[in-house]
């Protein structure tokens, strides 16, 4: 065990000596030797020459260096997050932005999941919760949606008069828009009844199976020769194009006015999901694919606002 013999000399420096009249600045330069000795053999292990000034400079440098190092760690490293009250505003803003982004992504995922589930139900004829009475009342419900109820008088606005005039004049496009004005002006998007929309027949042929929601047959079957091209009933966008076990190669088109048309049991699909479609454009070739098919034909479905309607009421397939 070593002892520091020079501590006694340092103690003498801080003790006032009446006979020493030197200034304290001169005393700081007094030289001392710090000797490290073996406690048992008194053998000198090492020694250091020191002055009070050197000791003061060393200790001060150590304190200042530690303070600078700690400051750099706090400023340039994530350690500042663990200091209460430091950087809370920036951190809260980042967390808030991340939470908003996560909420937006969650809403998008939920909407996509709901849309995918609805399309799956359309393809598999899974219409849980829809009864035959609901389907039969579809036309009546659509006709009464825009009524105000009661016998109260409602003041008309100029846009309403123009809309009524356009409907009476027959200025209705097959995309579900009503053209206002005679000079090629703008159009007013409006949810209009199916009776006022124009649909082209997907194929021409004999209807072999009628619309019968009571037997879970939510469309009609139209027989046609092999290799017959199936055409889009109206303008729209392909939202599904693929194969299912029950319906074979199928394609679904989303149209304006909340209308969806389905074309099932095809042999070949000519369009992919996301493709824009024009009315009368070939989208598939008639076929006999899927477990629910017993011969070359087209199973055609017409959906309005999420409910199946009888295509024969709006399209002539002969």
Q: Does domain 206-313 have CATH number 2.70.70.10?
A: yes
- CA 216/CA 140 separation, integer angstroms: 21
Tokens found for residue 195: 């009776």
Structure tokens given for 147: 């009524």
Neighbours of 205 (CB within 10 A): 19
Q: Residue 249 gets which letter from DSSP?
A: E
Nearest of 167, 133, 287 to residue 221 by alpha carbon: 287
Two tokens, residue 78: 């994530």
Q: Which residue in the block uniquely carries the two structure tokens 């809370």?
A: 88
Nearest one of 229, 242, 222 to 280, comparing CA atoms: 229
Buried b (16+ CB within 10 A) or exposed e, 9-46: ebeeeeeeeeeeeeeeeeeeebebebeebeeeeeeeee
Q: Is the pTM of this model over 0.85?
A: no
- The DSSP H or E segment spanning 88 is helix 88-123
Q: How far apart are CA 260 and CA 194, in angstroms?
A: 12
Return the structure tokens found at 193. 């009844």
Q: What is the rounded distance in angstroms from the CA atom of residue 210 to the CA atom of residue 230? A: 19
List the pLDDT tens digit at each of the 318 positions of the chain: 444 454 555 555 555 555 566 777 777 788 888 888 888 888 888 888 888 888 889 899 999 999 999 888 888 887 777 776 665 555 667 788 888 899 999 988 888 887 777 777 666 656 555 554 554 454 445 444 444 444 444 555 665 666 566 555 555 444 444 444 444 444 444 567 888 888 999 999 899 999 998 888 899 999 988 889 999 999 999 999 999 888 899 999 999 888 999 999 999 999 998 899 999 999 999 999 988 888 889 999 999 988 899 999 999 888
Q: How far apart are the first and last CA of the chain?
A: 114
Q: Please tell me whether residue 302 adopts helix, strand or coil conformation.
A: strand
């Amino acid at each position: 065990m070593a002892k520091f013999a020079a501590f006694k000399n340092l103690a003498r420096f801080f003790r006032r000596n009446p006979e020493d009249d030197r200034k304290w600045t001169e005393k700081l330069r007094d030289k001392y030797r710090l000797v490290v000795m073996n406690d048992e053999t008194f053998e000198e292990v090492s020694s250091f020459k020191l002055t009070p000034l050197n000791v003061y400079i060393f200790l001060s440098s150590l304190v200042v260096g530690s303070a600078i190092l700690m400051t750099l760690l706090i400023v340039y490293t994530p350690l500042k997050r663990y200091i209460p009250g430091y950087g809370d505003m920036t951190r809260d803003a980042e967390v808030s932005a991340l939470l908003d982004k996560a909420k937006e992504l969650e809403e998008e995922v939920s909407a996509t999941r709901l849309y995918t589930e609805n399309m799956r139900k359309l393809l598999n004829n899974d219409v849980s919760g829809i009864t035959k009475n609901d389907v039969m009342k579809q036309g009546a419900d659509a006709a009464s949606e825009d009524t105000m109820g009661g016998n109260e008088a409602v003041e008309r606005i100029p846009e309403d008069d123009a809309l009524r005039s356009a409907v009476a004049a027959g200025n209705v496009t097959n995309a579900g828009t009503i053209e206002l004005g005679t000079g090629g002006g703008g159009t007013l998007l409006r949810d209009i009844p199916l009776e006022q929309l124009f649909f082209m027949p997907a194929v021409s042929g004999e209807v072999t199976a009628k619309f019968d929601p009571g037997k879970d047959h939510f469309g009609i079957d139209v027989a046609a020769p092999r290799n017959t091209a199936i055409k889009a009933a109206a303008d729209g966008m392909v939202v599904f194009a693929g194969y299912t076990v029950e319906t074979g190669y199928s394609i679904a088109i989303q149209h304006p006015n909340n209308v969806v048309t389905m074309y099932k049991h095809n042999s070949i699909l000519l369009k992919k999901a996301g493709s824009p479609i024009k009315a009368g454009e070939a989208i598939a070739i008639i076929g006999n694919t899927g477990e629910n098919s017993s011969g070359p034909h087209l199973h055609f479905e017409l959906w309005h606002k999420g409910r199946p309607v009888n295509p024969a009421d709006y399209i002539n397939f002969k």
